[in-house]
């Protein structure tokens, strides 16, 4: 399961689209709330710069810079990275259609455009099978089943974390990924890799902050990997630092 780094045309969608194919309950052709999500994306073409701060378990904190080029017209917001189109948000009357552009094939996801606080922007059933390889050879597979849901959790006048402070009309979006991973390694490869046969449940939660007229200003993603687990359980409180990894993305200008 790979998390996408880019976040302007909806880190809410970046997290939204997380894993595998499935069915979405978001974005039906109807109005279900009073807050227009379109107003929380860029209103004009611009360039956005971010600071990316991350740390893996057992590693040291790293900082990187990220730049996105945003092209806006009446019904489309296109995001480019290094001059190449990465994603497109198409604005319709009552829904938003996010398309992840890839050489492996485009994937589109539909979201509710109008929501209320506490309302679901997007939900999706996850069903995916991934091959496990060792030195280029397939040694087994893991299946992932579960759900992903993003809700508009709160409206804010200010958001701050570390030394980053943002003011204005801000919405906070909570995305929760709950799934079960079942791993099956071929008998002849047992003990030869980090993988073992078994089933593990996980809960992965992140938060995205969008500023009216500007778009994404922050992605806050902290994962707790409990002892003996390979996947996060973000319901754990007071996670020991040695079991914590994180990725924070802050809008600079």
The domain limits of the chain are 11-251
Burial profile 138-156: b = 16 or more Cβ within 10 angstroms, e = fewer: ebbebbbbbebbbbbbeee
114 closest CA partner among 96, 129, 131: 96
pLDDT at 109 > cutoff 70? yes
The pLDDT tens digits of the residues spanning 198-240 come to 999 999 999 999 999 999 999 999 999 999 898 999 999 999 9
What's the mean pLDDT when you consider all of the chain? Answer: 87
- Answer whether residue 192 shows pLDDT above 90: no
Query: CA 171, CA 165: separation in Å to the nearest integer?
Result: 14
CA nearest to 244, candidates 234, 22, 101: 234
Count CB-CB contacts under 10 A for residue 232. 22
């Amino acid at each position: 399961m790979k998390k996408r780094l880019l976040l302007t045309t909806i880190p809410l969608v970046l997290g939204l689209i997380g894993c595998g194919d499935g069915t979405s309950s978001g974005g039906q052709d109807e109005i279900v709330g009073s807050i227009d999500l379109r107003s929380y994306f860029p209103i004009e073409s611009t360039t956005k710069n971010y600071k990316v701060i991350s740390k893996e378990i057992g590693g040291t904190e790293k900082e990187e810079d990220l730049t996105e080029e945003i092209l806006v017209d009446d019904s489309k917001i296109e995001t480019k990275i290094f001059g190449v189109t990465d994603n497109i948000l198409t604005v319709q009357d009552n829904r938003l259609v996010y398309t992840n552009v890839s050489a492996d094939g485009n994937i589109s996801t539909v979201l509710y455009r109008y929501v209320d606080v506490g309302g679901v922007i997007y939900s999706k059933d996850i069903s995916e099978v991934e091959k496990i390889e060792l030195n280029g050879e397939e040694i087994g597979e893991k299946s992932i089943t579960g759900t992903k849901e993003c809700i508009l959790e709160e409206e804010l006048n200010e958001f701050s974390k570390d030394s980053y402070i943002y003011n204005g009309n801000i919405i906070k979006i909570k995305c929760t990924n709950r799934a079960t991973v079942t791993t099956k390694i071929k008998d002849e490869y047992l003990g030869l890799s980090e993988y073992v046969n078994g089933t593990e449940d996980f809960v992965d939660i992140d938060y995205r902050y969008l500023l009216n007229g500007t778009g994404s200003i922050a992605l806050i993603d902290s994962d707790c990997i409990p002892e003996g687990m390979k996947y996060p359980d973000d319901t754990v409180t007071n996670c020991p630092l040695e079991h914590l990894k994180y990725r924070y993305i802050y809008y600079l200008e």
